[in-house]
Amino acid sequence: MAHRIANNALNASTVDILNVIRQNASYSYQQSVPEVTSYTDIPTVGEVIYGTPALANEFINALVNRIGLVRAESAVFNNPYAVLKKGKLEFGESIEEIFVNIAKVIDYKAEKGAEREFKRTLPDVRSAFHVINWKVLYPVTIQDEDLKLAFLTIDGVTDLIAKIVESIYTGAEYDEFLLFKYLIIKGVNDHDIKIEELENPAMTDYAKAFRGLSNLLPFLSGDYNAQGVKNTTPKDRQVIFMDARFNAEFDVDVLAGAFNMDKADFMGRLFLIDNFTSFDNDRWETIRENSTGLEEVTDAELAYMANIKAIIMDEEWFQIYDDLVKMTQTPVNSGLYWNYFYHTWKVVSWSPFANAVAFMATTATEETPDAGGGEGGN
């Protein structure tokens, strides 16, 4: 079963980090590298580690794998949309989403009892498979000089960790933002996200529409999901994606009232998007080369999103799982540096059974009068 990884903060000092690495290191490392008892010992330890390639390799590996990767995982699995991800898959796990539609109803007639007694009435069971379709890696190089500088200041080692990890999870987090945006754009254009049109809406019309749909989703209906199955989305599963500029037009209390939520609950369910009409296809193209089933976002699709202002959906609509999270490394002795590669594999998909509705502003067009003046003309 998929599980979430807790958000961890790095609270350890450079002294703590050096001693933890030493405690978990090889016997040779422990014999060669002294324990750090005060900040004044840091340069001495640095000289020992820096002066012996085998010790330097062991130190860098421990630094990245034991500390850096923990922080990288924490950032990836607790991004701003983390509540909408399903967590990390266990080893060898595959995803089959199963939905059982509500049972049929028939009339009761005593005289039909005999023929109905042993008649099979199979349940309406639907399934959707979600497979690993996102495989990317993030490279980072640590130079020999970086290691030397790390031991010259009190915070040098923690600064080195930040340098390593920031370069990784900033890219990974941005790409996760893109994949959420990608699923929304494709979902709207493929009509897997239903469209509710608002003709020449005023801001008050939006608030009324939000409240109306939010009130309807807890009721069983087949009108709001791609498969047309009768499903519900209770208030505590409803999430709202909203264009950032459009959101600025609303008072937060007004929006919270529109969804019948208090302000704190509403802010926890609201997710802002910079806009629905732009997409970083240059970066996305690199991701697509290493993944399967991911498509280019076209100009026509982005143009169709121009009048989408907000989307209300079931939090189960996003079917995003992290699978492989692994750091590999290669020391390059000829160049005096280490190359690290942070691998991430994911399941990137959406549920055809979960409710999702986008609000689109439309402009009313006047009807063209008949050329002949219509009936009753002179």
CB atoms within 10 A of CB 275: 15
Distance CA 233, CA 251 (A): 25
Distance CA 244, CA 29 (A): 53
CB atoms within 10 A of CB 196: 16
Distance CA 311, CA 247 (A): 12
Q: Tell me, what's the pLDDT at 377?
A: 39
Q: Tell me, what's the pLDDT at 309?
A: 92
Q: Give the start-end residues of each E strand in 8-105.
A: 87-88, 95-100
User: Are 218 and 233 a contacting pair, CB within 8 Å?
Assistant: yes
Report DSSP letters for 136-156, one per residue.
Answer: EEEEEEEEHHHHHHHTSSTTH
Give 261: exposed, middle or buried? Use CB within 10 Å, 0-12, 13-18, 19+: buried
Q: Kindly report the pTM of this predicted structure.
A: 0.75
Q: Tell me, what's the pLDDT at 2?
A: 54
Cα distance between the two ends of the chain: 77
Q: Tell me, what's the pLDDT at 4?
A: 47
Q: Tell me, what's the pLDDT at 352?
A: 92
- Which residues in the chain come in under a pLDDT of 50? 1, 3-8, 74-77, 366-378
